[in-house]
Amino acid sequence: MKRLNLKGRQFNTFLILQEIEPHVEPSGRKRRRYLCLCKCGNKFKSLQTPLLSGSTKSCGCFRKKKLQSLATKHGLSKVYPKEYRAWCLMRHRHKGEISDAWLRFDVFMADMGVGQIKASLRRSNRKKMFSKDNCYWLQHSSTKG
């Protein structure tokens, strides 16, 4: 088997520092292992196989971060793009007039529910904050007049 020299090799999110003592499987088979430096600053150990196949992406922080941002930013906004637009618009136009809870899109969605196709977000009382009690979806009529 060809010996690969992976030391110093740079991947997208980490760098291979050095080869370390191999991982010994219960069967006695040895598998080559490397010490890597993640972009976030953490060092981690990885077997050669997942490193080369690309399944090792980072010390684990990458996956965690990605999952987190998917859930908070993109997950719901993809499922409810129209509501997300209304929410963004509200945040953009009415800074300082929004209840703290509604700075989170998931809370906003939980309070307001799904809007109709041509609905827009309205306040009952314009002098009051954007909040669950003061807002509703205004349904735009598709017929003229």
Rounded least distance, CB 75 to Zn ion, Å: 22
Classify residue 87 by burial, with Cβ atoms within 10 Å: 0-12, 13-18, 19+.
Answer: buried
Smallest separation, CB 70 to Zn ion (Å): 17
CB of 74 to Zn ion, least distance (A): 21
61 vs 107, beta carbon nearer Zn ion: 61
Cβ pair 48, 6 in contact under 8 A: yes
User: What is the residue type of 103?
Assistant: L
Residues 47-66, one symbol each (x = binds Zn ion by CB under 5 A, - = not), give -----------xx-x-----
| Position 36 contacts Zn ion (CB under 5 A) | no
Tokens representing 137 are 């979806």
Per-residue DSSP letters for 104-120?
A: SHHHHHHHH-PPPTTEE
Contact residue for Zn ion among 38, 98, 109, 135 (CB under 5 A): 38
Region for residue 120 given its phi and psi (left: phi exceeds 0; alpha: psi -120 to 50; beta: otherwise): beta
Q: Which one of 4, 21, 30, 42 is in contact with Zn ion (CB under 5 A)?
A: 42
Binding site for Zn ion (CB under 5 A): 38, 40, 42, 58-59, 61
